[in-house]
Structure 1
Amino acid sequence: PKHAFIPGYEGAVRTVLVFLPDYLELSQLYQDEISPISVIRATYASSAKQPGHRDFLGSLMGLGIKRETIGDILVGKNSCDIVIMKEILPFLLSNFESAGQVKLSVSVIPYDEIIIPEQKYKLITDTVASLRLDSIVASGFSVSREKAASAIKAGFVSLQYQECNKADKTVTEGDIISVRGMGKIELLEIGNKSRKGRIFISIKRYF
């Protein structure tokens, strides 16, 4: 069946799978009467202390909002665009008034006006014994393999946006790995092997 993951912008992390009837085109998914998602923009005074992702998410959780109804939180300069399930839109327009100690002004914006902030990252080159998940996590976050394995076992690690508790899971080129409390990395490139049989890799670590 015809389907799509939305929102469809490059780098979208939290997406919704939507199936469409034959009479609808993918381009119609973002029409207000059809789309299951909405986008809100929270703005605040330029003189205010810049709230971060954690501030916005914490405020939403404090309102009793379920995490699964909140998509990407895109923090920019003096504003933050948040993708949400449409069902919570009326509640947020009435009740989402602050992030941290900063007062917000919240409004609905069209999907095509989303501001996607440029992601900053550090490029890491390394060699690993294998492409196991625990090995890539250890390399990307500069922690021991034991600590990486513990985080995986505890359910703190997501591979391609799905929780993965298998330390020996093979990671492939282009895979995204998120670790709670540490951040996000991407296995950018898998190279050749060294003389000692180790694998050359390149990793993006996002900030």
Structure 2
Amino acid sequence: MLKDKKKYLEHINDKGQIIILRKILDDIEKVIINHSVVSSDFLDPHQRKLSYSILNRFSDIDYYEEGGYDYAERKIIIMYPEYLRHTDLDNEVSAIEVRTKYRYSNLNHKDFLGALLGLGVKREIIGDIIVSDDFAHIIMSKELKDYILLNLDTVGKESVNVKEISLQDIYIKKDEYEKVYTTVSSLRLDTIVSSAFNLSRNDSSKIIKGEKVKVNFQPIDNISYCVNEGDLISVRKKGRMRLESILGESKKGKLKVQINKYI
């Protein structure tokens, strides 16, 4: 048994992730005691970063991440005794293709996720959902695959066909975004959010203080938080954007920036 688990969480400032990190500690304990291989739920990059800050404190276990493809946003962490080789372990992730009957469907990410949740599936065991014109590729825990193949027959109001695909056949969708060139008075979070989404400073401040904004997947409620070049910012019900580059100063002393707003 791990003694005094609280000490492994003392450095965590994001208290909203404590439950997830306690699960990671429980998984570590299972690996150590049972000499078994244990997989986490699907985690976003911020959650994985916090998990690694704990995992790296244990020399007798090793781990790797798997999301179905290299650039997956959501991935699981597979933990195992350090004397094993991860190349000898079974893959814990599967992928399915959900194809609509008619081409150029209006179904979106929310529709596919909603259909899965409607089957009683927990969000934590679903990875990325990649939506194309007439199909979606969904990454999930391999234990969930057969249940979905058997039960998923509609998404929204449309009938669908479902089949398993290999991870090598996952559709890699290129990011689509609108380039916005603008000037800002500073790199404060409220200033960047206001500029990107055409909001007043008052409105952007309310959104940030209302805990509806994440920077690099980490919830931020400080309007004065300084955004860095390359940071990914998501605003609930507004979308995502990236501060792609800082291009210098204008004649009036403002910062010229490029913002990529994802479509």
Q: Which TM-score band applies after superposition, normalised by the shorter structure? A: 0.7 to 0.9
Q: CA RMSD in A?
A: 2.2
- Flag the structure with more relative contact order, 1 or 2, with Cα contacts below 8 A and sequence separation at least 6: 1
The Cα offsets for residues 67-97 of structure 1, whole Å up to 9 and x where unpaired, read as 2222221111321001122332232122222
Contact 1:120 1:206 (C-alpha < 8 Å) held by counterparts: yes
Contact 1:13 1:161 (C-alpha < 8 Å) held by counterparts: no
1:22 positional shift:
5.6
The Cα offsets for residues 29-62 of structure 1, whole Å up to 9 and x where unpaired, read as xx8x623322111112135743111211111222
Structure-2 residue corresponding to 1:103: 159
1:146 positional shift:
1.9
Q: Whose helix fraction is larger, Structure 1's or Structure 2's? A: 2
Whole-Å separation in 2 of the counterparts to 1:17 and 1:36: 10
SS at the partner of 1:104? strand
Whole-Å separation in 1 of the counterparts to 2:236 and 2:130: 18
Structure-1 residue corresponding to 2:178: 122
Contact 2:105 2:134 (C-alpha < 8 Å) held by counterparts: no
Q: Whose strand fraction is larger, Structure 1's or Structure 2's? A: 1
Return the letter of the residue paired with 1:205: K
Which of these residues, 85, 89, 92, is aligned with residue 24 of structure 1? Answer: 85
Structure-2 residue corresponding to 1:60: 116
Structure-2 residue corresponding to 1:82: 138
Question: Following superposition of structure 1 onto structure 2, how do residues 121-160 of structure 1 map, counting pairs within 5 Å?
Answer: 121-160=177-216
- Which consecutive segments of 4 or more residues in structure 1 shift more than 6 A? none
* TM-score where L is the length of structure 1: 0.85
Return the letter of the residue paired with 1:187: L
**Structure 1: any 5+ residue segments left out of the alignment?**
none
Structure-1 residue corresponding to 2:73: 13
Could you say if the C-alpha distance between residues 195 and 49 of structure 1 is closer, same or farther in structure 2, counting changes exceeding 3 Å? Answer: closer
* TM-score where L is the length of structure 2: 0.68
Alignment partner of 1:175 is 2:236: no
